[in-house]
Structure 1
Amino acid sequence: MGKTNKNEPSAPPLHSVMDNYSSKIELAYNGSREDLEPYVPSDHRPVASNTSSVGALAHLLKASLGSGVLAMPLAFKNAGLLVGAIGTAIIGFICAHTIHILVTTSQNLCVELKKPSLGYAETCHLVFQNGPKPVRRYAPFVRELADWGLALIHAGACCVYVVVVAESFKQVSEEYGGPKWSVTAFCGLTLVVLVPLCQINKLKYLVPFSAIANFVWVGAIGISIYYCVRDPPKVTERNLATSITGIPNFISTSLFAMEGIGVVMPIENEMIKPAQFLGCPGVLNIAMVTVSLLYACVGFAGYLQYGDEVRGSLTLNLPQDEILAQSAKIMVACVMLLTFALIFYVPFDVVWRHLKHRVPARNHGWAVAGIRLVGTLLIVGIATAVPRLELFMELIGAILLSVMGLMLPAITETVFRWGKDLGPVYCVVFKNTIIVLFSLIAMVSGVVYSLKTMLEKL
């Protein structure tokens, strides 16, 4: 018999072998069980994602009921009372549907790729990246388009805020014997507040400003509605329908007012039960029905009261010789000053993400401060150069919101469902083609008529 080599390792005990074998079996079983069980994105989201359905509804309503509600009388001026009411319902339905398909696509993509949540730009990028081979090369372009599109939408909204603030303070100043400066001068004066305010670089420090703004905003809208329903003229004194040339501007202004595509994904990503965002009734449906009804009522009442004299913000039409009306103008101006920093965060974030890797870490603080300063000066400079509130809203709605709010969600859903489920007789392709054509018509016609109006008023 051979001798045993003392240097050879002894065989492991039998019980150790059996324990190891059992562990491997259990690990394999658990792994296969996880593969069989569907992935639920909300189960893997951070603990901080704890927004209830009621809270999500409140956030969505707060985000949708911004400065746009005061612009709806201008939209009705371009369409007429009857066409405006019907058109608001139609555009509200289209906006709700495009938001619905974007969120549905994002939720299904999260399940497929096993990701807890995705933003707008991430959803579009990953859909194209994992889509049919011919479209995969466009994934980086789509991500950049979504990123910069959202940035420009929010930067444009900031321009609108500057003009509203400037015109509001100009009216109040002239009424009470202040300097009779131009709107341009008052736009420049907003920098006194906006420059230090926009240096706040953490969202948590902006929460108190947002909370104060919400209460003040409700009061300002209430006062504006009061003046609209006080001694209104007869319906027969206003147009029920205008010429066809007014429809593009109606669509552009309505899209600017109603489309909240930039805030939808962040709200859905913070929900405890994201499945309740959609469905019937669902957070989205309740919010969009409420918004559409309120916007239609304000647009109808505002145009009925002020007719063709209606301005881009309803508060600018309020009487200049009544303290209550003046207080509403000051309230709206203060709200927009406080909200500017929050809206400005989006374009800053996009720019900083593209420049951060080029700046040494030790200089990040100075770079952030510099970018915020330059961004604030640029936005106020644009508002000063073209202090026409109506033109800002029409151009933003025509170009950016037609693409970001209508076209891109429709194209993204089509790419995602290509080769999977396009519905009977390709109804998804047919439906989304109509949405894309509608967005193209709205964009081209809106830009043409906006530029025409701009040239006429220069």
Structure 2
Amino acid sequence: MFLSLFAMDELFSPEVSSSFLTSNMKDLTISKSLWLSAGSVVTKLKNSVHMKTMSQENLCPEQIENNNDDDDNLNTETIPASINVRSRELMDNATSNMSSLMNFLKGNIGTGILAMPYAFAQAGLWLGLVGILILGAIATHCMHMLVNCSHKLCERTSSVALDYPDVVECCLRTGPQRLRSTATIFRKVIYVFITFTQFGFCCVYIVFVAQNIKQPIDYFHTKIDIKVYIAITAALLIPYCFISNLKTLSIFSLLANLLTVCGLVITFQYIVQKLPPIDSVAAFKPLSNLPSFFGTAIYSFEGISLVLPIENKMRTPQDFGGWTGILTLGMVIVVCLYTSIGFYGYLQFGCHVAGSITLNLPSQWLYIMVKLLLAIAIFISFGIQFYVPLNLLKPVIGRIESTKIQKIVNFFIRIGLILFLCILALFVPYLELLITLIGAFASSGLALIFPPLIEIVTYSAEGEKLSWIVFMKDIFIILIGVLGFVTGTYTSIADIIHKVQL
């Protein structure tokens, strides 16, 4: 992963968002001959702006200079971003509000929701409830911060749309002078965090599939070590991951979504039946358990990387933000689902709750089928997640002159990455510890630390002023993220070492 950093500027083509739940996004050519109004101001845009969504071509350095030279009469300060450069009327593949909401929910509801009862078990019933609501509110606010800064930077640089790495680089290049030289470095840092997260997701998927297949088979046959199932899962993934067409993968993704919905509905109806008294579980757990709670919870809330790709593809992006927008509605639904599964799951199973609540379901045919359905769903979803680390190496492979050698290299890279992920899963075959580590190390940075930093830098440019209340709020969120990052990473690594040594 780190050996490829020199090629980061070419990585993550328009085909891919970090969650890769939005479909292949075409290059857009928007004519600046379009007349747009902003209040009483009507501005004619002179040049043609060619934008590749999710690529570096829409970043500000050269673009700002060119636009300033050619568009001297263009007053972007008077044109709201949602009306000006973010218009989607000319996009053939723009999505409706409902489609955008479905994509948002699809990207935020995954293996993390099944780990919510474990998160509650680390904090206690009532502390977990309050903690999930607070973290959900902060994560939602950070998503809004990222969207608002994206609007501001689009307006400032006359860009059509920016993704997460673009926003980071653009805010630094147009921010305080002393920070501008760090723009490219921090863009690559974001790529590293996103890539690490994707590798983590892939490992979690492998372990999840292995555990949910092992348990039903163990019920009927002799118990076999989990590592055998991990190896079998990896062997089955090798041919599947040679599917490189996103349209084909999207068909499998639809099937996975249907299986996931069925599995979650059946699981939820079980955990709300014959609930024990509330005082049968701990209301508050020791504060030393909070890092594990934080890591698991923030892993589940790490959907921030797909926020901008979804908004960038909307037909009416002005409906995405705000208190009543798609983002807020989607996060309210997500937080309610997480809270419900976590609260009732922990109340039902108490201290015996597993890293995935499916592992607590009884060995009856209906619930055995649920485990197998969810295992199949996650197995299918692996293809989309695997597309990210594979796409990371595409520019490097593309530099090879011989097409035949390119195919050979691509063949061995796919197998090599699967084997690498399999080795990681074999080394740490503990679902709950993997989720905690990934959440604390990677997700806390993307979801909590970088967005307030972006807001501070964006509004620290010349002529801009950030109120001290907003500044202190951003610092507070950063401190929460850093505290969770340090304590969660340390705790999860220590727990992994302890488990491995046993």
For normalisation by structure 2, the TM-score amounts to: 0.81
Please report how far the alpha carbon of residue 357 of structure 1 lies from its aligned counterpart in structure 2 after TM superposition.
5.2
Cross-structure match for 1:217: 260
Residue 454 of structure 2 is aligned to residue 412 of structure 1: yes
- Pairwise CA RMSD of aligned residues? 2.0
Cross-structure match for 1:359: 400
**Counterpart selection for 2:136 from 69, 75, 92:** 92
Q: Could you tell me whether the CA contact under 8 Å between 2:87 and 2:316 is conserved in 1?
A: no
Q: Could you tell me whether the CA contact under 8 Å between 1:125 and 1:140 is conserved in 2?
A: yes
CA distance in 1, matches of 2:324, 2:259: 30
Opposite residue 483 of structure 2, the aligned amino acid is I
CA distance in 1, matches of 2:229, 2:92: 41
CA deviations over 1:21-54 (Å, ceiling 9, x no partner): xxxxxxx987589725736223368624411111
Which protein, 1 or 2, shows the higher relative CO under an 8 Å CA cutoff with sep ≥ 6? 1
For normalisation by structure 1, the TM-score amounts to: 0.89
Residue 249 of structure 2 is aligned to residue 206 of structure 1: yes
Opposite residue 454 of structure 2, the aligned amino acid is T
CA distance in 2, matches of 1:75, 1:285: 23
CA distance in 1, matches of 2:140, 2:401: 43
Cross-structure match for 2:74: 35
CA distance in 1, matches of 2:44, 2:253: 50
Secondary structure of 1:399 counterpart: helix
**Counterpart selection for 1:164 from 184, 208, 224:** 208
Q: Could you tell me whether the CA contact under 8 Å between 2:291 and 2:487 is conserved in 1?
A: yes
Please report how far the alpha carbon of residue 122 of structure 1 lies from its aligned counterpart in structure 2 after TM superposition.
1.3
> Which stretches of structure 1, 4 residues or more, deviate above 6 A after TM superposition?
none
CA distance in 2, matches of 1:160, 1:29: 51
Opposite residue 401 of structure 2, the aligned amino acid is P
Cross-structure match for 2:380: 338
Q: Could you tell me whether the CA contact under 8 Å between 2:118 and 2:354 is conserved in 1?
A: yes
Opposite residue 181 of structure 1, the aligned amino acid is I
| 1:34 to 1:58, Cα distance in 2 relative to 1, 3 A | farther
Residue 371 of structure 2 is aligned to residue 329 of structure 1: yes
Cross-structure match for 1:380: 422
Q: Could you tell me whether the CA contact under 8 Å between 1:249 and 1:450 is conserved in 2?
A: yes
Q: Could you tell me whether the CA contact under 8 Å between 1:45 and 1:116 is conserved in 2?
A: no
CA distance in 1, matches of 2:474, 2:358: 38
**Counterpart selection for 1:350 from 392, 415, 427:** 392
Structure holding more helix per residue: 1
Cross-structure match for 2:112: 68
CA distance in 1, matches of 2:249, 2:110: 17
Q: Could you tell me whether the CA contact under 8 Å between 2:231 and 2:422 is conserved in 1?
A: yes
Q: Could you tell me whether the CA contact under 8 Å between 2:125 and 2:283 is conserved in 1?
A: yes
Identity %: 32
Cross-structure match for 1:111: 155
Cross-structure match for 1:252: 295
CA distance in 2, matches of 1:269, 1:218: 27
**TM alignment of 1:286-301, pairs within 5 A:** 286-301=329-344
Q: Could you tell me whether the CA contact under 8 Å between 1:44 and 1:116 is conserved in 2?
A: no
Cross-structure match for 1:174: 218
CA distance in 2, matches of 1:226, 1:390: 23
Residue 188 of structure 2 is aligned to residue 149 of structure 1: no
Give 1 or 2 for the bigger CA radius of gyration: 1
Secondary structure of 2:354 counterpart: coil
Please report how far the alpha carbon of residue 265 of structure 1 lies from its aligned counterpart in structure 2 after TM superposition.
1.7
Cross-structure match for 1:306: 349
Cross-structure match for 1:435: 477
CA distance in 2, matches of 1:341, 1:140: 30
Q: Could you tell me whether the CA contact under 8 Å between 1:91 and 1:255 is conserved in 2?
A: yes
- Structure 2 unaligned segments of length 5 or more: list them: 1-42, 47-70
Secondary structure of 2:74 counterpart: helix
Opposite residue 423 of structure 1, the aligned amino acid is L
Greater shift, 62-71 or 359-368, is seen at 359-368
Residue 228 of structure 2 is aligned to residue 185 of structure 1: yes
